Copies of this chain bind each other. A is one copy, B any other.
């Protein structure tokens, strides 16, 4: 089985970290292919960047010319999943949904700890649209930008732990979701520090993608995610312009 794990930003080192995290949980026989979009922001922390990432991810996946069995969109709270679902016949798993869905098997309520405060409403909105917000106790910001996570992992752990503890004690969360693809690999440390299960969206998404493939399940094509109607589209794929 081959799973494409697509980063939402154009920073290759993050793609590598995400792919490595994905491989850490992949079943024997599952091949993980990490993909970096050809265009977009070096980190995605807002709506403009996220919308740009939406089409950059679609563009990158369509440009991949080998067979694959599932696609993981590895951005937390980002736009675009529905477009991929229309364009592809294989299952598409967004790490925001994957983490929330997994967390709900582990506790009565979960919280997300993410990067900057400005990304909190994006995550809240995506969870609302996905219908996975009913047991979300809170989405909290660590105050660290995406690229800062990589620069100083120790500081990142501290900032995340601080918010995770507040989520548990004040918001009554029983599970923590790491709300950024760039937090890949920090779950174990944070679990030890907080004493509650910590869900990493990337590993959650890998297991869900594998599960869907093994069950022979993929996106329903009867209505919302039907293949786009044939029509004149100007300027797509955009990479033709490069």
Contact = CB atoms under 8 A, between A and B. Distances in A.
Most buried by B among A87, A120, A197: A197
Interface string A55-67: 1101000000000
A51 B80 contact: yes
Contact of A58 (B46, B48, B241): B48
Most buried by B among A25, A97, A220: A220
B82 A47 contact: yes
Contacts of A54: 51, 54-55, 79
B174 A195 contact: no
A104 interface: yes
Taken together, the copies of this chain in the complex come to: 6
B102 A217 contact: yes
Interface in A177-220: 195-197, 199-200, 203-204, 207-208, 210-212, 214-215, 217-220
Interface residues of A, number: 92
Contacts of A204: 211, 215
Interface in A26-61: 27, 38-43, 45-52, 54-56, 58
Given A101-B101, A234-B39, A207 B196 contact: no
Given A107-B222, A121-B223, 17 more contacts: A45-B228, A46-B229, A51-B55, A51-B80, A91-B106, A104-B131, A105-B212, A117-B223, A121-B224, A129-B129, A130-B135, A132-B134, A168-B222, A175-B220, A204-B215, A207-B214, A238-B241
